[in-house]
Amino acid sequence: MRTDFLIVGSGFYGSVLAERISSVLKKKVLIIDKRNHIGGNCYSEFDKKTNIEYHKYGTHIFHTSNLKVWDYINQFTTFNNYRHQTLTHHKNKIYQMPINLETINTFFNKNFNPREAKKFLEKITKDKKKFKPKNFEEKAISQIGDKLYSAFIKNYTIKQWGLNPKKLPASIFNRLPLRFNYNENYFNNSDYQGIPLDGYTSIFNNLLKNKKITKLINCDYFKIKDKVKVKYFTIYTGPIDQYFNYKLGILDWRSVKFKKKIVKTDDYQGNSVINYPDLSFKFTRIHEPKHLHRERRYANNNSLVIKEFSYKDHKNPFYPINNEKNKKLIYEYKKLAKKEKNILFGGRLADYAYYDMDMTISAALVKFNYIKKNLKNNF
């Protein structure tokens, strides 16, 4: 088989590059995926019994402040006006997450205004701020203190990452905002936000609809790579250690499993996601996808409820574990990758990076510019 470009993996990184290469450079692209569908972990499908659309690999909220990315992706879908709110269930009570003024007041049984709440947290974290935090736990306690940390963060993190939070990088805690107001918009720091009106899978169908693109699902790169003649580049978006046959060692990944159930009530939990930090629950969160599409007015007789469980599995990678061991290993793999000829690496799996969707799209657009220049100069 012959192609101008071979793209391994049809998540956002691979699909955006396939679209750019076929429509701007007018080159032929073969895009393959080992799963039985396109879209990587962003794939969405309709539950056959309820007709409710759900995100097969966990709730994905598109949010960005990158106008270039927003304008680009809006060529392939229209977003609804969904604004994400997360709640957390602790000792049989529901609180706002990320921690905001309501969480603080409810948890400490106070009625602080924003200034008082800030002062209060400053007072309880004063001793913890003396040294620069070296890990997730130190960072979290220096921001919110022991009590909030123990209730909402510590056990959730242990369940999600399967590690002592002292062994995780402080940067993961930076993903969680801390608010001294009643704002409940989880992604308030992003200028644009929404869920694709016609689902994530339709974005991928649109990205990959150019006639110059051939799609092959159920296709394992390692079984076909010797049979494909690639004129310019192979773009590999799979796990980088697998590409090199794990010869330097295995990069660790956290994985997630989902248990889906239909419930005979129109609204099970009143929100799209509720986190469960307590160790008495084995799952980390419950998703109710009906809430992502208010505009659809789904039937009222039932709902779909999905429990999420975390476990360690590098064969089913979701979250890179950025500890010292893996940081060293990815550094070495990246050195090897640079030496490879006519192959480019990118995306969450090949970069071993905790990218959000917009970051992945942005990285693909940057890589496209590199490809465009390279093609002009070298071929």
CB 238 within 8 A of CB 8: yes
Which residue among the candidates 179, 186, 298, 348 is catalytic per the annotation? 179
CB 341 within 8 A of CB 198: no
Coil vs helix vs strand at 144: helix
Mark 1-33 as b/e (b = at least 16 C-beta within 10 Å). eebbbbbbbbbbbbbbbbbbbbeebebbbbbbb
Please give the structure tokens belonging to residue 57. Answer: 């690999």
CB of 225 to ligand UDP, least distance (A): 32
CB of 362 to ligand UDP, least distance (A): 17
Q: If you ran DSSP here, which 8-state letter would residue 225 be given?
A: G
Residue closer to ligand UDP by CB (options 57, 152) is 152
Does 308 participate in catalysis according to the annotation? yes
CB of 77 to ligand UDP, least distance (A): 21
Does 254 participate in catalysis according to the annotation? yes
Contact residues for ligand UDP, defined by CB under 6 A: 88, 97, 152-153, 156-157, 160, 172, 175-176, 275, 277
CA 24 centroid distance within chain: 28
Does 297 participate in catalysis according to the annotation? no
Which residue among the candidates 137, 351, 356, 358 is catalytic per the annotation? 356
Which residue among the candidates 57, 285, 348, 352 is catalytic per the annotation? 285
Whether the bond between 98 and the residue before it is cis, its omega within 30 degrees of 0, is yes
Residue closer to ligand UDP by CB (options 240, 357) is 357
Does 354 participate in catalysis according to the annotation? yes
Residue closer to ligand UDP by CB (options 160, 201) is 160
Does 57 participate in catalysis according to the annotation? no
Which residue among the candidates 13, 19, 221, 254 is catalytic per the annotation? 254
Residue closer to ligand UDP by CB (options 28, 159) is 159
Which residue among the candidates 2, 115, 175, 297 is catalytic per the annotation? 175
CB of 93 to ligand UDP, least distance (A): 14
Please give the structure tokens belonging to residue 142. Answer: 């220096």
Rounded Cα distance, 173 and 95, in Å: 18
Whether the bond between 133 and the residue before it is cis, its omega within 30 degrees of 0, is no
Does 47 participate in catalysis according to the annotation? no
Which of 238, 192, 213, 233 has its CA nearest to residue 23? 213
CB of 275 to ligand UDP, least distance (A): 4
Active site residues: 175, 179, 254, 285, 308, 354, 356
